[in-house]
Amino acid sequence: MEEQLKRSRDRIVRKWTDALLNTYSPEMARFIRKEKDLFANPVGAAVRTSLGPLFDALVDDESPERMVAHLDQLIQIRCVQDFAPSEAVGFLLEIKGIVRTQLSEQESRSAVRFLETFDRRVDLLVLRAFDRLAMYRDRTWEVRIREVKRRVATLARMSRLTDQDLDPGVAPTPATE
């Protein structure tokens, strides 16, 4: 089974890429597909560099840590986009149907056993992706909270200025004395 999937790798990864891009608007999907510049299109770069190695890791039964390493860049990007968590990681489940379609002509016991094992790998990957998404969202909110606290502290320092500090020609008011 693994060898058949490896021979069909490019086709499978292309279909998986299509499934991921279908989570975006048609205009954005076109842009992600066509723009090759890493800086102009970090999402497209992440898709191109992540899904192939991620598929290889699933087929080769690599450790969850190695699979997550291939996944991290995509999850970091999707955590700051306007996706619900299930939408952000849902594209990972699409690989199950794509692989089943690819192996559909083989109804043997070994195909069934392989698909059960493959499904468990994908499920584990999705759970790890969800963990990473939650971690990156938490980090993003921590950064936002620190920024708000910094701004509030700056405003508090500025509010301690009196009217005379701002304009020495103004007589003090009762609130500033």
DSSP sequence for 13-41? HHHHHHHHHTTS-HHHHHHHHH---TTT-
Largest CA distance in the chain: 92
* Contact yes or no for 102/156 (Cβ under 8 A): no
* 136, 79 Cβ separation under 8 angstroms: yes
| Domain-located, residue 6 | yes
In a domain, 174, yes or no: no
**Domains: count for the chain:** 1
Q: What pLDDT sits at residue 89? A: 92
The verdict on residue 154 lying in a domain is no
pLDDT at 116: 84
Residues of the chain with pLDDT under 50: 176-177
Is 86 within a domain?
Answer: yes
User: Per the confidence metrics, is the pTM higher than 0.75?
Assistant: no
Q: What is the pLDDT of residue 93?
A: 93
Q: Determine, yes or no, domain membership for 166.
A: no
> Is residue 143 a part of any domain in this protein?
no
Q: Is 153 part of any domain?
A: no
Q: Would you say residue 98 lies in a domain?
A: yes
**Per-residue model confidence (pLDDT) at position 158:** 81
Q: Can you give the pLDDT at residue 108?
A: 67
User: What's the pLDDT at 19?
Assistant: 96
Name the DSSP letter for residue 166: H
Q: What is the per-residue pLDDT for 105?
A: 61
Structural domain containing residue 98? 2-137
Contacts of 87 (CB under 8 A, 6+ apart): 23
Q: Which residues contact 115 (CB under 8 A, 6 or more apart)?
A: 99, 100, 103
What pLDDT, on the 0 to 100 scale, is given for residue 177? 47
